[in-house]
């Protein structure tokens, strides 16, 4: 939202502006404004915000990865057995993974932690994806496509699970505690 009223930049008193920091409300010119996902902010508020945002310590990354990967692995095999319903359980799996990561990391956070969790979710799906691919290729080569346990859509469910679960976990981790 741009205010139609004209102010003078807090850092440049002779520069007219219509922008204001959406946190501390001080007028800022285009050069002083930083575009954030929630709107324009002054540099002081952005650097303060980053300090609040990045609380994760290196131990958190070491804990988050295996926990997210193992939970994702379990979920991916469940997804494989329920087919289309994967779409319904993936957001739940993502939420469970995000909450587990939050629990083991003592609710500490950082953008890197969100990414590591999302990557771990995708890594956790690899065994199930490989399992399906190997059995598909195996039955195609050695049984001429008979006795197929899995079909091509199973590959799609795994991919859908990986994408939905990783993005739910990522956004849930990122979104919580966003009180500014």
Nearer to Zn ion, 45 or 80 (CB): 45
Closest among 87, 169, 79 to 125, alpha carbons compared: 79
Residue 29 CB, shortest distance to Zn ion, in Å, is 3
Residue ranges in 18-47 that form contacts with Zn ion under rule CB under 5 A: 21, 23-24, 29, 32, 42, 45
Q: Write the DSSP assignment of 126-138 as a string of letters.
A: HHHHHHHHHHHHH
Per rule CB under 5 A, count of chain residues that contact Zn ion: 10
Q: Is 93 in the site for Zn ion (CB under 5 A)?
A: no
Residue 163 CB, shortest distance to Zn ion, in Å, is 36
Nearer to Zn ion, 149 or 180 (CB): 180
Element containing residue 174 per DSSP (H, E): helix 152-175
Residue 24 CB, shortest distance to Zn ion, in Å, is 3
Q: At what angle do helices 152-175 and 86-104 cross, to 10 degrees?
A: 40
> Measured on CA atoms in the order 89, 94, 95, 100, is the torsion positive or negative?
positive
Residue 51 CB, shortest distance to Zn ion, in Å, is 14
- The count of other CB atoms within 10 Å of the CB of residue 17 is 20
Nearer to Zn ion, 12 or 108 (CB): 12
Nearer to Zn ion, 14 or 58 (CB): 14
Residue 73 CB, shortest distance to Zn ion, in Å, is 44
Q: Is 173 in the site for Zn ion (CB under 5 A)?
A: no
Nearer to Zn ion, 34 or 159 (CB): 34
Euclidean distance between the first and final Cα of the chain, in Å? 18
Report phi then psi at 66, rounded to 5. Answer: -65, -35
Closest among 18, 16, 17 to 3, alpha carbons compared: 18
Q: Is 12 in the site for Zn ion (CB under 5 A)?
A: yes
Binding site for Zn ion (CB under 5 A): 9, 11-12, 21, 23-24, 29, 32, 42, 45
């Amino acid at each position: 939202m741009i205010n139609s009223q004209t102010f003078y930049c807090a850092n440049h008193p002779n520069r007219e502006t219509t922008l204001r920091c959406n946190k501390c409300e001080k007028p800022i010119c285009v050069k002083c404004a930083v575009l954030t996902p929630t709107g324009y902010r002054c540099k002081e508020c952005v650097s303060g915000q980053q300090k609040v945002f990045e609380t994760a310590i290196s131990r958190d990354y070491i804990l988050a990865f295996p926990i997210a990967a193992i939970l994702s692995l379990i979920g991916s095999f469940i997804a494989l057995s329920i087919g289309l319903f994967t779409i319904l359980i993936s957001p739940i799996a993502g939420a469970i993974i995000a909450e587990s990561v939050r629990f083991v990391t003592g609710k500490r956070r950082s953008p890197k932690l969100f990414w590591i969790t999302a990557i771990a979710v995708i890594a956790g799906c690899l065994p199930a994806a490989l399992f399906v691919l190997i059995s598909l290729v195996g039955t195609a080569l050695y049984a001429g496509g008979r006795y197929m346990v899995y079909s091509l859509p199973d590959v799609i469910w795994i991919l859908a699970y990986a994408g939905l679960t990783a993005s739910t976990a990522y956004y849930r981790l990122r979104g919580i505690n966003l009180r500014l």
